[in-house]
Structure formats: structure tokens, C-alpha cells
Amino acid sequence: MSVASPLVADLAKHLRSRILAGEYAPEAKVTESGLAAEYGVARPTVRSAIELLAGEGLLVRSPFAAVRVPAIPLSERDELVTVLRFTEDLALDRIRSQQPDVRELRQAASGSLHGMLATLVRVSGSPRLEPIHRRTTFELMLLTQQHPGELASPDDAAAHATMRSFADAVATERFPEASALLEQLQDLRDGGVRAGGRAASSRSRR
């Protein structure tokens, strides 16, 4: 995967925050020319930023159609939750077996719950799990924003104590405790939803 230039990365970051904040309605069209004029950058820069966000599931580029913000149907909620839980469970298993440097988890415990769980997957060192988890997290965030009241946003303030305990348990290799705390964090993130297809087999390994 090629590394985006700083200008492309900055533009993608700004657009990402606007999309996740709900500034663009579901199915809203996004044009290269409009963004280029708004930000005062060249269209190839905009095109590259759009490609980054399309890879994250935050924009959709269809053949012969305008780039748009996807509408995430509520019917996909359980599937998104299941994928996130499964990748996080696998990440914890990988950390237990390979013992990578997990000091970054302690720092992440003071941030957002979404960020903490993304850090868990990142420090596991899996090149396969991270892009899946990143995209699915953004899609769940879009769903939460597009269907207010149907899936609660995580209460980061309430989660911080559990996040710190989880980071400590992982760092000191108390993995049964870490597994239980991870499930608590997942429930907070998912608004208490217990997806029917969640990774029961992963739990049974503990």
C-alpha cells in the first residue's frame, strides 16, 4: 500500500471528521471539483483523498455515478458488531501468543473507546485485521450517526476505568481477566447489542 502525501492525508482526515460528524447526509454527493474549490487544492489531491476514504467505507465511488456518502442500513448493525468483536478477539489472542509491545495500550486508555479498541488491533501486528477493523469501525460510527437512538454512542467517560484495567491486564499478561474486560468494552461500544452471530468460538478458546 502506498503512503499518502501529507496534503492528501490532511485532506482525508478533515473530510473523515466531517463525514463522521454528520455534516454530510446519507447518499450526499461529493465532487472532486467542489472539494478542490473549497479547499484550494488540485483535483488529483482530492481524488487521492477520496480513494483513501472509499477504502475506509466512508465514501462510495460507483462506475458512472457520483461519489457519495454511504447510507448504512440498520439491518447491518449485528453484522458490523460481529465483525468488530471477532477481529478484536483475534487480536487479543495474537497478543497472548506473540507478546508484541503493548505499551501503547496504556496511552490509548485515556482516549476514546473506539480509539482504544483500534489500538488493540493495531498493536497485535496483524496486517489483515487492522484494515478490516478500521473500516468496520467507521461503518458502525456512520450507522450510529445515521440512526440516532437505535444504537447508543459509547460513553467514553464511563469506559475509562475499564479501559485502564484492560490495558493493565494485557500488559501484565492476565489474559482471562483481559478477555472479560474486553467483552465489557465491546458491550459499551456496541450499545449493549448482543449480536446473534458473535464469535462464540473465539470465547470458547479462553
Taking the C-alpha atoms of residue 164 and residue 161, their distance in angstroms, rounded to an integer, is 5
Name the residue with cell 459499551: 188
Q: How many CB atoms lie under 10 A from the CB of residue 200? A: 9
- pLDDT value of position 151: 72
Half-sphere exposure of 91 (CA within 13 A, CB side): 29
pLDDT band (50, 70, 90) for residue 162: very high
Mean residue pLDDT of the chain comes to 89
Taking the C-alpha atoms of residue 144 and residue 187, their distance in angstroms, rounded to an integer, is 14
Give the pLDDT mean for 187-200. 59
Q: What is the pLDDT of residues 24-55, one digit of tens each?
A: 999 999 999 999 999 999 999 999 999 999 99
Tell me whether strands 67-68 and 29-30 are parallel, antiparallel or unpaired.
antiparallel
- Does 192 or 6 have the greater pLDDT score? 6
64: amino acid identity, one letter:
F
Q: What is the pLDDT of residues 52-102, one digit of tens each?
A: 999 999 999 887 778 999 999 999 999 999 999 999 999 999 999 999 999
Instruction: Name the pTM for this structure.
Output: 0.86
Residue 133 pLDDT > 80, yes or no?
Answer: yes
Residue 146 pLDDT > 50, yes or no?
Answer: yes
Length of the chain: 206
- pLDDT value of position 154: 73
Q: What's the angle, vertex CA 79, arms to CA 65 and CA 75, rounded to 5? A: 65
- pLDDT value of position 194: 43
Taking the C-alpha atoms of residue 186 and residue 138, their distance in angstroms, rounded to an integer, is 15
Residue 204 pLDDT > 50, yes or no?
Answer: no
- How does DSSP assign 6-55, residue by residue? HHHHHHHHHHHHHHHTT-S-TT-EE-HHHHHHHHT--HHHHHHHHHHHHH
